Amino acid sequence: MTRLVVERAVIADNLKKLREYVKTDIVGVLDCNGFGAGLTELAALLRSEGVETLAVSCIGDAVKLRAAGSGGEILLLRPHISEGEARLILEHGFTATVTNHDGALTLNGLAAETGGKVRVRLRVDTGLGLYGFAPGEADMAVNIAKFLTNLEIVGVYTDMLAPLGGEKAARAQNDVFGAFLKTLADAGVAYGKAYMADSYAALRYPFARRDGVFLGPELVGLAPHRGKPELTCAAKLVCDVAEVRWLPKGHRIGRGGDKTGKPVRIAVLTAGYADGFGLHAPAPDGKKNLYPRRSRFGGPAPRCVINGKSVKLTGGIGAAYAAADVTGVETKPGDSAFLRVDPVLVGADVRREYV
């Protein structure tokens, strides 16, 4: 059975390296099914390693985390889009993201109905152009903090453009964010912790780390750039060898595969691009690239491991098959093959197995 094997020790080691490197609080972002490692499984591991705040964009994922027994802070990275979502935030004790007056008013009113408070973090748009208060709306944020008393503001954060624009753009965003925070502080607003950096910016720009950073793909070893800290991918796709056979010179291997230049012994594998194998991050035009393009891990991708031996992949990749050249390697049907993949592209229907 094809499954994605995730190594707990590797994730724990990545987290340790990241903590030593950024020297500030880490919010564990779990979008994209925990960046391929499994939403609830990765959440449980991060909680056991002392990560206090988890973050997701989809409220459905937040509900799944609570249902799986994840206590502690769960931050929603986008504002609620309906009163129903707002009620779920209060019901499950999530931390809401507030980006405008109307959203704040809805949350405050619902919290007032119960006689309680709702934890919120204010989100500021410093250049990314998605969610958030505009830099000139700091006074609005002050009024929300002062007059909507059923909101408990525990933090303020923004999103960075990095790597777009380089360090100059990053510093400009830092200045805009700093000015917004100063307006809050000058008005006597206790806004809690300030966060602005995720992924690339968190690892490249120490000035952007402030009270904490948002990290997600890095936890499973998907680094946004080469260099320190050196992270290890914690996940490998494991499939079965379905058949082993000899093919003569001039025989084709799979659809789209080249013809053999000499007799070759192949192992037919039970994984293909429908399992996320042979794919990597979407191209700028939104299309997925297929093997043998280079993967996001860098270096030549077409190899796998069977019985402890690194062997070359050969031929085309189908939806549910691939082939490896096992000439001279002891291999039989039922053996396991370990494939390098981008776990984000491995479908949620593929079982995650933590070891």
pLDDT tier at 352, thresholds 50, 70, 90: very high
Structure confidence at residue 164 (pLDDT): 87
> Which of 9-23, 86-100, 249-263 has the lowest average pLDDT?
249-263
Count Cα neighbours of 288 within 13 Å in the Cβ-side half-sphere. 13
Q: Which CATH superfamily is domain 8-220 in?
A: Alanine racemase (3.20.20.10)
Computed on alpha carbons and rounded to an integer, the radius of gyration of the chain in Å comes to 24
Residue range(s) of every CATH 2.40.37.10 domain in the chain: 235-339
pLDDT tier at 290, thresholds 50, 70, 90: very low
Cα separations in angstroms, 134 against 173, 176, 179, 287: 12, 10, 12, 33
> DSSP characters for 221-290?
T--SSSSSS-----EEEEEEEEEEEEE-TT-B-STTPPBPSS-EEEEEES--GGGTTTEESPPTTSPPEE
Task: Take residue 63 and report the two structure tokens written for it.
Answer: 């509900």
> Which of 20-24, 74-78, 232-236, 250-254 has the lowest average pLDDT?
250-254
- Give the percent of the chain with pLDDT over 90: 82
pLDDT at 296 over 70: no
Mean pLDDT of the chain: 92
Task: Take residue 54 and report the two structure tokens written for it.
Answer: 């988890």
Structure confidence at residue 282 (pLDDT): 53
pLDDT at 301 over 60: no
pLDDT tier at 225, thresholds 50, 70, 90: low
Structure confidence at residue 33 (pLDDT): 96
The CATH architecture assigned to 235-339 reads Beta Barrel (2.40)
DSSP 201: H
Per-residue pLDDT tens over the stretch 202-213: 999 999 999 999
Structure confidence at residue 316 (pLDDT): 81
* The pTM of the whole model exceeds 0.85: yes
Count Cα neighbours of 290 within 13 Å in the Cβ-side half-sphere. 13
Look at 13 and 277; give whichever has higher pLDDT. 13
Structure confidence at residue 343 (pLDDT): 93
Structure confidence at residue 223 (pLDDT): 77
Report the pLDDT averaged over residues 101-116: 96
Structure confidence at residue 125 (pLDDT): 97
Report the distance separating Cα 319 and Cα 11, nearest Å: 29
Report the pLDDT averaged over residues 109-113: 97
Structure confidence at residue 318 (pLDDT): 87
Look at 179 and 161; give whichever has higher pLDDT. 179
Per-residue pLDDT tens over the stretch 188-199: 999 999 999 999
